[in-house]
Amino acid sequence: MLVVTAYILPILALLAMLILLAQGESRNQKLTKSFRYLLIILIFWSSLLWVTDQLNNPPYSLITLRLGLFVASLLPAFLYFFFSRLVNSFSRIIAYTLLIVSTLFAVLSLTPLMVKTISRGEVGIEINKLSLLYSLQTFYGVVGFVFSYVWAKWKSQKLDQKIKMQIKTIGWGLYLAIFIGLLGGYVLRNTGSNLLLPLALMFFALSIFIAIFKHGLFDIRLIVARSVAYVFSLLAVGAAFGLFSYVISNVFIGQSKSINPSTRVTYIVIAVLLAVIFPLLKRFFDRVTDRIFYQDSYDSQAFFDHFNRTLVSTFELNNLLKKCGLVIQDNIKPSSFTFVILATDKTRRKVIGSDPKLNLTDKLVYEINKQTKALKKRVIVAELLQSSYKTFKNLLVDINITVIVSLGSASNYEGIGFLLLGPKKSGNAYTSNDIKNLQIVSDELGVAIQNSLYTEEIENFNLTLQQKVIDATRKLRKTNDKLRALDEAKDDFVSMASHQLRTPLTSVKGNISLVLDGDAGAITKLQRQLLDQAFASSQRMVYLIADLLNVSRLKTGKFVIERSPVNLADVIEEEVNQLIDTALSRQLTLTYKKPENITELMLDDTKTRQVIMNFIDNAIYYTPAGGRIDVMLSETASVVECRVIDNGIGVPKSDQHHLFTKFFRAVNARKARPDGTGLGLFMAKKVIAAEGGAIIFESVEGKGSTFGFSFPKAVLAIGKIQNGAYPVKNKQHALAQ
Selecting from 3.30.450.40, 1.20.1260.10, 3.30.70.1290, 2.60.40.2470, what CATH number does the domain 300-456 have?
3.30.450.40
d(CA 527, CA 514): 13
**What pLDDT, on a 0 to 100 scale, did the predictor assign at position 736?**
33
**pLDDT of 92 above 90:** no
Contact, 61 vs 55, CB < 8 A?
yes
- Local confidence band at 725 (pLDDT 50, 70, 90 cut-offs): very low
DSSP state for residue 183 in the 8-state scheme: I
What global pTM score does this model have?
0.41
| Helices and strands counted in the chain (H then E) | 22, 16
Helices (H), 660-717: 667-672, 680-691, 713-716
Sheet bearing 379-381, strands edge to edge: 348-353, 337-342, 417-421, 403-407, 379-381
How far is the CA of 544 from the CAs of 408, 473, 557, 644, 681, in angstroms? 73, 37, 20, 20, 12
Contact, 158 vs 167, CB < 8 A?
no
User: What does the angle CA 734 – CA 735 – CA 737 come to, to the nearest 5 degrees?
Assistant: 135
Which among 443, 407, 438, 406 has a CA at the least distance from the CA of 424? 438
Maximal CA-CA distance, the chain:
173
- Local confidence band at 700 (pLDDT 50, 70, 90 cut-offs): very high
The mean-pLDDT minimum among 232-246, 671-685, 700-714 falls in 232-246
Overall average pLDDT of the 171-182 stretch: 75
Mean pLDDT of the residues in the chain: 76
- Local confidence band at 699 (pLDDT 50, 70, 90 cut-offs): very high
Contact, 690 vs 561, CB < 8 A?
yes
118 forms beta bridges with 127
* Selected residue with higher pLDDT from 127 and 87: 87
Q: Class for domain 2-219, per CATH?
A: mainly alpha
* Selected residue with higher pLDDT from 55 and 646: 646
- Local confidence band at 728 (pLDDT 50, 70, 90 cut-offs): very low
Contact, 692 vs 685, CB < 8 A?
no
Contact, 276 vs 240, CB < 8 A?
no
The mean-pLDDT minimum among 118-122, 150-154, 184-188, 664-668 falls in 184-188
- Which of helix, strand or coil describes residue 711? strand
DSSP string, 88-153: T---HHHHHHHHHHHHHHHHHHTSTTT---EEEETTEEEES---HHHHHHHHHHHHHHHHHHHHHH
Which among 137, 112, 4, 134 has a CA at the least distance from the CA of 62? 112
* Selected residue with higher pLDDT from 349 and 367: 367
Which among 544, 617, 602 has a CA at the least distance from the CA of 568? 602
Contact, 422 vs 334, CB < 8 A?
yes
Q: Class for domain 559-734, per CATH?
A: alpha beta
Overall average pLDDT of the 236-255 stretch: 58
d(CA 100, CA 313): 57
**What pLDDT, on a 0 to 100 scale, did the predictor assign at position 383?**
75
**pLDDT of 340 above 80:** yes
Contact, 220 vs 34, CB < 8 A?
no
**What pLDDT, on a 0 to 100 scale, did the predictor assign at position 553?**
65
d(CA 565, CA 581): 29
- Local confidence band at 191 (pLDDT 50, 70, 90 cut-offs): very low
- Local confidence band at 258 (pLDDT 50, 70, 90 cut-offs): low
Contact, 194 vs 124, CB < 8 A?
yes
d(CA 629, CA 623): 8
Q: Where are the extended beta strands (E) located within 558-687?
A: 560-562, 564-566, 589-592, 601-603, 628-635, 639-646
DSSP state for residue 190 in the 8-state scheme: T
- Inter-axis angle of helices 75-86 and 92-109, to 10 degrees? 160
Which among 218, 213, 215 has a CA at the least distance from the CA of 168? 215
- Which of helix, strand or coil describes residue 691? helix
Residues in the chain: 737
Pairing of strands 639-646, 628-635: antiparallel
The mean-pLDDT minimum among 272-276, 370-374, 502-506 falls in 272-276
Helix H or strand E encompassing 694? strand 694-700
How many alpha carbons fall within 13 Å on the CB side of residue 150? 6
d(CA 405, CA 677): 73
564-596 core/surface letters (b: 16 or more CB in 10 A; e: else):
eebbbbebbeebbebbbebbeeeebebebeeee
d(CA 18, CA 663): 98
**pLDDT of 647 above 80:** yes
Which among 111, 101, 103 has a CA at the least distance from the CA of 63? 111
What residues does each domain of the chain span? 2-219, 224-293, 300-456, 559-734
pLDDT tens by residue, 397-440:
888 888 888 886 545 555 678 888 988 887 777 877 788 888 88
pLDDT tens by residue, 43-81:
777 777 777 777 777 777 788 878 888 888 888 888 888
**What pLDDT, on a 0 to 100 scale, did the predictor assign at position 4?**
47
